[in-house]
Structure 1
């Protein structure tokens, strides 16, 4: 039954990574900027949720935490816009500086403690095909799948989604057709922030003790998911997230049997997979190959 447990926990973690990766991809497709401050935005969303849970209850606090992360994402977009004429690589490096500032501030606010969201499910466990798993992980899996479905329905059937996809395909042509690139950029960063906060709230639930100021590094586990799936593919972000989640959980669970690889193999497994994909298929599973005319 351990295999079932590993699979459920892996898919749950993969869905969470998928949400973070989807945020990375949404921002990249909308602005061509790879936001390396995504982890700090995630921690801010969790911190706001933890701060407000006792006063407003978990559901309302979570909604406010996600909204705060979306607002922070939009604010970062306006800061990035000040240097919009710079090369996209420069703009991505700029997000590293923003991340350092946010980490310093969240460290001051959270201190040495953990930000806990006090979700109503606590440490409850349930049996899935004979395997005992935390209820929060099952909820994270179900909620993650539901959010992913909503995301794709919105982006494929609504006018807003069509404008986002048109801008991602060809921003110059979209602008000539009257689609505001400023609004597209603002929306992409806000959506990316909201997705990161949602994932962070799930990561802060049992069996985790919560998130601390250094938990922004957890978002970097989603970067291999982005690379594996394809940097410009929303579908790839989800598939990559599931692959990374299952692989990391399996490596951690069977670490005793993999002793020859050393301790902590689970933490490095996502990056081993990323390196292998970069060597064998740099564009990822669903990534678009760049065509160069000569």
Structure 2
């Protein structure tokens, strides 16, 4: 039973990272109707940047500075490369973001080099005893940081003037324009927020582990999370991210004993299997908004 609860804790911790990444995907999609494939590069950039900052400013200050720096990078990318594509087919814009991801990762890889870089582990792999179950502090920290970010985001969208403007633009851009809302500003802020969230996720991934050129692959697990929860649902992104983390952790713990015929490393593909099963029942995800087109 201890192994089960440790697997749950590990899954919730990793799932919180997927939730942060999924939130970034959903925020951009809700405002622009484009899935930004540049998120993995922003995550990698945030993880690499903090490896240069922790030695001089400490981990927590480095976390904040990394998030702000990558948010500004994402803002610049939107202004320079994505803004001129407004009005173009959504597929073309998505391909542009895929190219941006490759370009940013190539540049960031130059700062990684052939060796791996270390973020350092501010929690030093210490454990906390919760109801008799030893849980690593870093998983608790991941959950707490993600919970704080989710609360701040939902409060921003619900209670601030610009948050309401972003919600209005996500609902109907043309109507928002007639009400005096700057849709261009909404696009820019959406990208900045998504970049900052990806950077925080990258920093959390790097704690207690090494940062190398392949770190960006972890961000791909956010895709099952957003499809599972619904492309236009912020709450769905959080639930989808946690669900993906839990399934991956539980499969990794028990699959070798219960279903060895599935082969090794089936946990890696288990989030995509979960996604396919959900899509068979709910094509728009658990919390996505069904779109009805009349011909």
Give TM-score, length-normalised by structure 1.
Answer: 0.96
Q: Residues of 2 paired with 1:236 and 1:264: CA distance?
A: 27
Q: Which stretch shifts more, 79-88 or 117-126? A: 117-126
2:226 corresponds to 1:250: no
Which moves more between the two structures, 241-250 or 120-129? 120-129
| Residue of structure 2 in register with 1:74 after alignment | 75
Once the 2 structures are TM-superposed, how far is the Cα of residue 83 of structure 1 from its aligned partner? 1.8
- Give how far 1:25 is off: 0.1
Q: Secondary structure at the match of 1:82?
A: helix
Q: Do the aligned residues in 1 keep the contact of 2:19 with 2:225 (CA within 8 Å)?
A: yes
In structure 2, distance between residues paired with 1:101 and 1:27: 20
CA distance in 2, matches of 1:245, 1:151: 21
Question: Unmatched 5+ residue regions in structure 1?
Answer: none
Given the alignment, which residue of 147, 168, 179 partners 2:181? 179
Q: 1:178 & 1:204 partners in 2: Cα distance?
A: 42
Offset from partner CA, 1:263-286 (integer Å, 9 cap, x none) = 011110111111222232110011
Partner of 2:193: 191
Asked if the contact 1:24–1:226 (Cα under 8 Å) also holds between the matched residues in 2, the reply is: yes
Query: Which deviations, in whole Å up to 9, do the C-alpha atoms of 1:19-47 show, x marking residues without a partner?
Result: 11000000111111111110111111111
Map 1:212-223; keep pairs closer than 5 Å. 212-223=212-223
**Cα deviation, residue 101, structure 1:** 1.0
Aligned residue pair count: 292
- Residue pairs, 1:43-122, within 5 angstroms: 43-78=44-79, 79-122=81-124
| Contact map agreement 1:18 1:239 (CA 8 A) in 2 | yes
| CA displacement at 1:115 relative to structure 2 | 3.1
Contact 2:12/2:139, CA 8 A, preserved across alignment? no
Mapped partners of 2:116, 2:41: distance in 1? 15
Per-residue deviation, 1:130: 2.2
The question of whether the paired residues in 2 share the 8 Å contact of 1:122 and 1:205 is answered with no
**1:73, CA displacement in angstroms?**
1.1
Q: Does residue 272 of structure 2 align to residue 276 of structure 1?
A: no
Contact 1:4 1:129 in 2 (8 A): no
Match of 1:125 in 2: 127
Q: C-alpha displacement at 1:127, in angstroms?
A: 2.0
1:141 partnered with 2:155: no
Q: Where does structure 1 differ by over 3 angstroms across 4 or more consecutive aligned residues? A: none
Mapped to 2, the partners of 1:27 and 1:210 lie a distance apart of 29
Contact 2:126 2:137 in 1 (8 A): yes
Scaled by the length of structure 2, the TM-score of the pair is 0.96
Following superposition, the deviation at residue 132 of structure 1 comes to 2.2
Deviations along 1:54-74, one digit per CA (max 9) or x if unpaired, are 011111111111111101111
Deviation, 1:119, is 3.8
Any idea what SS the aligned residue of 2:88 has?
A: coil
Partner of 1:213: helix, strand, or coil?
Answer: coil
Indicate conservation of the 8 Å contact 1:22/1:234, yes or no: yes
**Structure 2 CA distance for aligned equivalents of residues 80 and 35 of structure 1:** 10
Q: Tell me the CA shift for residue 150 of structure 1.
A: 1.4
Other-structure match for 1:290: 291
Q: Secondary structure at the match of 1:112?
A: coil
